[in-house]
Amino acid sequence: MLSALEQYDPQIYELIRQEEARQSGSLRLIPSENYVSRAVMNATGSCLTNKYAEGYPGKRYYEGQQVTDLIETVAIERAKKVFKADHANVQPYSGSVANLAAYNSLASIGDTIMGLELSSGGHLTHGSKGSITSRIFNSASYTVDPETGLLDYDEIEKLAKKLRPKIIISGYTAYPRKIDFKRFGEIAKEIGAFHVSDIAHISGLVVAGLHQSPVPYADIVSTTTHKTLRGPRGGMLLCKEEHAAVVNKTVFPGQQGGPHMHTITAIAVALAEADTVEFIEYAKQIVKNAKRLAEKLMEYGFNLVSGGTDNHLILIDLRNKGIPGKKMSKALDRARIVSNFNTVPGDTASPFDPNGLRIGTPAVTTRGMREEQMDEIARFIHAIAENIDNEAVIEKVNREVLLLCSQFPVPDHFILPGKKVLHPLSS
Ligand code: DSN
Indicate the top mutation candidate among 29, 33, 96, 173 to test ligand 1's pocket, ranked by most ligand atoms within 8 A of CB: 173
- Let me know if residue 1 belongs to a domain: no
pLDDT tier at 3, thresholds 50, 70, 90: confident
Give the pLDDT score at 351.
82
CATH number for position 327: 3.90.1150.10
- Let me know if residue 363 belongs to a domain: yes
What is the domain count for the chain?
A: 2
Write the residue with the smallest CA distance to atom 5 of ligand 1: 173
15-19, 29-33, 188-192, 419-423: segment of lowest average pLDDT: 419-423
18 CA distance to ligand 1 centroid (A)?
23
Indicate the top mutation candidate among 28, 29, 30, 32 to test ligand 1's pocket, ranked by most ligand atoms within 8 A of CB: 32
- Let me know if residue 354 belongs to a domain: yes
Q: Residue 15 pLDDT more than 90?
A: yes
Q: What digits encode the pLDDT tens for the residues 87-130?
A: 999 999 999 999 999 999 999 999 999 999 999 999 999 999 99
31 CA distance to ligand 1 centroid (A)?
8
Let me know whether 392 and 256 are in one domain: no
140 CA distance to ligand 1 centroid (A)?
21
Q: Residue 426 pLDDT more than 70?
A: no
User: Would you say the CB of residue 95 lies under 6 angstroms from ligand 1?
Assistant: yes
Q: Residue 270 pLDDT more than 70?
A: yes
32 CA distance to ligand 1 centroid (A)?
6
Q: Where do the H-state alpha helices sit in 53-197?
A: 66-83, 95-106, 133-136, 153-163, 181-190
Let me know whether 300 and 166 are in one domain: no
> Which atom of ligand 1 approaches the CA of 31 most closely?
4
Question: What average pLDDT does the chain have?
Answer: 94
Q: What digits encode the pLDDT tens for the residues 299-321?
A: 999 999 999 999 999 999 999 99
Indicate the top mutation candidate among 227, 339, 340 to test ligand 1's pocket, ranked by most ligand atoms within 8 A of CB: 227
Let me know whether 109 and 241 are in one domain: yes
> Which atom of ligand 1 approaches the CA of 95 most closely?
7
Let me know whether 260 and 291 are in one domain: no
Let me know whether 223 and 303 are in one domain: no
> Which atom of ligand 1 approaches the CA of 30 most closely?
4
Query: Which positions ≥6 away from 409 have C-beta within 8 Å?
Result: 24, 367
Q: What digits encode the pLDDT tens for the residues 45-65?
A: 999 999 999 999 999 999 999
> Which atom of ligand 1 approaches the CA of 173 most closely?
5
421 CA distance to ligand 1 centroid (A)?
31
Q: Residue 419 pLDDT more than 90?
A: no
- Let me know if residue 140 belongs to a domain: yes
Per-position b or e across 389-399, b if 16+ CB within 10 A of its CB: eeeebbeebbe
Write the residue with the smallest CA distance to atom 3 of ligand 1: 32
User: Would you say the CB of residue 32 lies under 6 angstroms from ligand 1?
Assistant: yes
Query: Which positions ≥6 away from 359 have C-beta within 8 Å?
Result: 29, 30, 31, 293, 313, 314, 316, 339, 381
Give the pLDDT score at 414.
39
pLDDT tier at 1, thresholds 50, 70, 90: low
User: Would you say the CB of residue 37 lies under 6 angstroms from ligand 1?
Assistant: no
Residues acting as catalytic residues:
52, 54, 198, 224, 227, 233
CATH number for position 48: 3.40.640.10
Q: Which of 306, 314, 283 is nearest to 377 (CA)?
A: 314
User: Would you say the CB of residue 122 lies under 6 angstroms from ligand 1?
Assistant: no
- Let me know if residue 418 belongs to a domain: no
pLDDT tier at 265, thresholds 50, 70, 90: very high
Crossing angle of helices 391-407 and 325-334, in 10° steps, is 60
C-alpha radius of gyration, the chain, whole number: 22
Let me know whether 212 and 301 are in one domain: no
Indicate the top mutation candidate among 120, 123, 341 to test ligand 1's pocket, ranked by most ligand atoms within 8 A of CB: 123
Give the pLDDT score at 420.
39
Q: Residue 415 pLDDT more than 50?
A: no
Let me know whether 304 and 385 are in one domain: yes
Write the residue with the smallest CA distance to atom 4 of ligand 1: 32
Give the pLDDT score at 180.
98
Q: Of 246, 274, 302, which residue constitutes the final position of a domain?
A: 274
Q: Of 241, 274, 307, which residue constitutes the final position of a domain?
A: 274
Per-position b or e across 300-329, b if 16+ CB within 10 A of its CB: eebbbbbebbbbbbbbbbbbebebbbbebb
> Which atom of ligand 1 approaches the CA of 340 most closely?
4
Domain that holds residue 80: 42-274
Let me know whether 63 and 185 are in one domain: yes
Let me know whether 80 and 142 are in one domain: yes
154-168, 171-185, 346-360, 372-386: segment of lowest average pLDDT: 346-360
User: Would you say the CB of residue 171 lies under 6 angstroms from ligand 1?
Assistant: no
Let me know whether 116 and 255 are in one domain: yes
Let me know whether 47 and 168 are in one domain: yes
Average pLDDT over residues 287-299: 98
User: Would you say the CB of residue 173 lies under 6 angstroms from ligand 1?
Assistant: yes
Q: What digits encode the pLDDT tens for the residues 39-50?
A: 999 999 999 999
Cβ contact 198:172 at 8 Å: yes
User: Would you say the CB of residue 125 lies under 6 angstroms from ligand 1?
Assistant: no
Q: Which of 273, 181, 268 is nearest to 220 (CA)?
A: 181
Q: Of 274, 304, 329, which residue constitutes the final position of a domain?
A: 274
Let me know whether 206 and 155 are in one domain: yes
Give the pLDDT score at 425.
35
